[in-house]
């Protein structure tokens, strides 16, 4: 039966288009004058504040956007996601990353199969192995305790765990250091291994497919490094003792020589960019302990519950998603910045780039029909105040408007140094969002210059160069304190925001066919470079020829 209270999608979109024309004539600085503005356009949940009062919105905007979510049946899609329905239609898969942070003591209400027993089994394996490493009952081939863990992975098999480690490293085990190696350029591995002792280094190979070129190349090089240093031992014994793997492809990992007890399974329903909650973070658990990781899961679970149970108009991931659509699809802003004002969150933009753009960088709907409107704007970011000495010039006075999510921390629970500068960082952050919103008129520039003693003629000449258009929208997300739990809530917020946008665009956020072709061509190009085959494209062949000319010069 037709959903009678479901507003008509095209009528809503027409109303939003008309509303955008109207509200874009209202300066943000005048919207912000209303005394109730902050109260009406901010939300709190899960230890964070979501302030969207500096956005081009009024109550009518929120009503129309909420109707858009209803017309797109966001709630129905959300419930299908959590119920384990086949939401990833092109790969015929579920997307059950939310099950990974669901309390293991309670059943996960998935319509298909109960994934909780497997999750619980893997969690115990992670917990026990990490404990043994930390306590020294699981040691190296020379019976030394491990001092260094090399996490080898890329994309979703590394970035989220590395971000979590940046935040939690202040609590790491006194003996165990964690290193991340992602890139194909051996420089990174070489620079890392310089600080490691082969006798006491564990290697964790993280790859859902166990076929990613960068990861396997780095893993083989790291094992070679072990073998060359510990010549008294057979390579296969070194692999069995020093190596661990996290993968959906256990067969290949065992064929590589890993002990099956050292292989942690990754389910196929956990997409790479949604897998930080899984065994992918084994190396982190070994470094900082299972309790902090559980806090991280608990934070995400709290956001899941908020997303599942809160009315659309008060639902932080939903409102966040709707505002991103409002700015991208209706204001046509093709960029989006995430600017974390915390050193420990410096990898957050990189993490969100994969989460958002590998999910929503699509141009066809789930049913295969071509989209006629823009989808994911380019998400980028810098950390702390670095951007204020470079790209913020573009943000403030460039010809393009780039909406910003400022991520601020009111307190730093586990990083005392960051806590010492918490107020300084926070003041830098809010001054940027204020300037973007309010701008500075030429009259204000002239007055300011005259007050500094500049004569009126010179002041009028200079003012157009100093004027700031303002009217540049931003959200400010404030973590009450930065810890594992609030980080979990923050990452889950963005996961659900990405999902809601995909539902409204009717796209599949869980596949990533766009990156597959490049991977296949890279193999052909490498073969051609080694003259084992012909790349069959003249301009690319010329690049290969130039490469070889340079080797000879």
521 binds ligand F6P (CB under 6 A): no
* CB-based contacts of 533, cutoff 8 Å, min separation 6: 524, 527
Choice among 182, 214, 358, 495 that is catalytic: 358
Residues 344-363, interacting with ligand F6P (CB under 6 A): 358
The CB-of-263 to ligand F6P minimum distance in angstroms stands at 14
- Residue 156 in contact with ligand F6P, rule: CB under 6 A: yes
Structure tokens at 183: 């890139």
272 binds ligand F6P (CB under 6 A): yes
d(CA 316, CA 22) in angstroms, rounded, equals 25
Inter-residue contact 218 to 180 (CB < 8 Å): no
Q: 71 by DSSP, 3-state: which?
A: helix
Strand order in the sheet with 378-380: 42-45, 48-54, 474-479, 404-409, 335-340, 378-380
Active site residue 389: yes
Q: Given the rule CB under 6 A, which of 6-14, 207-215, 291-299, 448-456 is the region that contacts ligand F6P?
A: 207-215
Residue 209 Cβ vs ligand F6P, minimum distance, rounded to whole Å: 3
The two three-digit tokens of residue 145, written as one number: 């305790």
Determine if residue 231 is left, alpha or beta; phi over 0 gives left, psi from -120 to 50 gives alpha, anything else beta: alpha
What is the spatial distance between Cα 542 and Cα 544, in angstroms, rounded to a whole number?
Answer: 5
Which span sits near ligand F6P by CB under 6 A: 59-67, 86-94, 150-158, 440-448? Answer: 150-158
Give the count of beta carbons closer than 10 Å to the beta carbon of residue 55. Answer: 21
Binding mask 108-147 toward ligand F6P (x if CB under 6 A, else -) reads ----------------------------------------
Size of the site for ligand F6P (CB under 6 A): 14
CB of 88 to ligand F6P, least distance (A): 12
Of the listed 194, 389, 465, 536, which one is catalytic? 389
Considering only 20, 88, 172, 512, the residue that binds ligand F6P (CB under 6 A) is 512
Q: How far apart (Å, rounded) are the C-alpha atoms in residues 145 and 134?
A: 8
Q: Should residue 157 be labelled a site residue for ligand F6P when binding is judged by CB under 6 A?
A: yes
Q: Which stretch binds ligand F6P (CB under 6 A): 153-161, 190-198, 399-407, 433-441?
A: 153-161
Q: What angle do CA 176, 177, 178 make, to 5 degrees?
A: 120
190 catalytic? Reply is: no
Q: Looking at 58, 188, 209, 252, which residue binds ligand F6P (CB under 6 A)?
A: 209
Write the secondary structure of 424-461 as one string of H (helix), E (strand) and C (coil).
HHHHHHHHHHHHHHHCECHHHHHHHHHHCCCCHHHHHH
Question: Beta strands of 182-290 (E only): which ranges?
Answer: 201-206, 243-247, 263-265
Residue nearer to ligand F6P on the CB measure, 226 or 279: 279
**273 touching ligand F6P, by CB under 6 A:** yes
Q: Distance between CA 40 and CA 487 in Å, rounded?
A: 25
Q: Which residues bind ligand F6P (CB under 6 A)?
A: 154-157, 207-209, 212, 215, 272-273, 358, 512, 515
Residues annotated catalytic, as ranges: 358, 389, 519
């Amino acid at each position: 039966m037709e959903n009678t209270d479901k507003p008509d999608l095209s009528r809503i979109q027409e109303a939003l288009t008309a509303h955008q024309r109207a509200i874009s004539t209202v300066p943000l600085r005048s919207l912000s004058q209303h005394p109730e503005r902050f109260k009406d356009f901010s939300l709190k949940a899960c230890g964070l504040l979501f302030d969207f009062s500096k956005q081009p919105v009024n109550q009518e905007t929120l009503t129309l956007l909420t109707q858009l979510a209803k017309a797109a049946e966001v709630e129905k899609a959300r419930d299908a996601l959590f119920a384990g329905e086949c939401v990833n239609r092109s790969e015929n898969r579920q997307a059950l990353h939310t099950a990974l942070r669901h309390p293991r003591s309670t059943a996960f209400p998935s319509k298909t199969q109960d994934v909780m027993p497997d999750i619980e089994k893997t969690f115990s394996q992670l917990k026990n192995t990490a404990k043994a490493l930390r306590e020294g009952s699981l040691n190296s081939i020379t019976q030394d305790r491990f001092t260094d863990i090399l996490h080898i992975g890329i994309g979703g098999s590394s970035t989220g765990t590395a971000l979590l480690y940046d935040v939690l490293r202040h609590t790491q085990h006194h003996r165990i250091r964690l290193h991340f190696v992602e890139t194909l350029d051996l420089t990174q591995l070489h620079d890392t291994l310089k600080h490691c002792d082969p006798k006491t280094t564990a290697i964790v190979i993280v790859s859902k497919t166990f076929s990613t070129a960068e990861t396997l190349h780095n893993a083989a090089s790291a094992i070679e490094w072990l073998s060359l240093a510990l010549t008294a031992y057979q390579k296969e014994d070194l692999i069995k003792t020093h190596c661990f793997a996290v993968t959906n492809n256990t067969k290949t990992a065992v064929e590589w020589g890993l002990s099956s007890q050292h292989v942690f399974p990754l389910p196929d329903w956990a997409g790479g960019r949604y897998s930080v909650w899984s065994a992918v973070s084994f190396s982190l658990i070994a470094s900082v302990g299972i309790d902090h990781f559980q806090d991280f899961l608990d934070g995400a679970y709290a956001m899941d519950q908020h997303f599942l149970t809160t009315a659309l108009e008060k639902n932080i991931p939903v409102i966040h998603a709707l505002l991103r659509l409002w700015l991208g699809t209706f204001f046509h802003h093709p960029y989006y910045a995430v600017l974390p004002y915390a050193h420990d969150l410096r990898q957050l933009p990189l993490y969100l780039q994969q989460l958002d753009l590998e999910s929503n960088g699509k141009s066809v709907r789930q049913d295969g029909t071509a989209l006629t409107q823009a989808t994911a704007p380019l998400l980028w970011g810098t950390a702390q105040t670095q951007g204020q000495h470079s790209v913020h010039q573009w943000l403030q006075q460039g010809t393009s408007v780039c909406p910003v999510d400022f991520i601020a921390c009111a307190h730093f629970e586990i990083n005392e140094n960051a806590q010492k500068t918490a107020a300084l960082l926070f003041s830098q952050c809010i001054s940027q969002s204020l300037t973007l919103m309010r701008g500075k008129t030429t009259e204000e520039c002239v007055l300011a210059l005259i007050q500094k003693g500049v004569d009126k003629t010179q002041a009028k000449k200079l003012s157009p160069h100093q004027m700031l258009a303002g009217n540049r929208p931003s959200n400010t997300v404030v973590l009450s304190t930065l810890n594992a739990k609030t980080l979990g809530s923050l990452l889950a917020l963005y996961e659900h925001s990405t999902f809601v946008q995909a539902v409204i665009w009717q796209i599949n956020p869980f596949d990533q066919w766009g990156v597959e072709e490049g991977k296949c061509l890279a193999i052909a190009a490498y073969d051609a470079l080694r003259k084992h085959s012909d790349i069959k494209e003249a301009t690319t062949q010329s690049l290969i020829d130039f490469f070889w000319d340079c080797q000879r010069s």
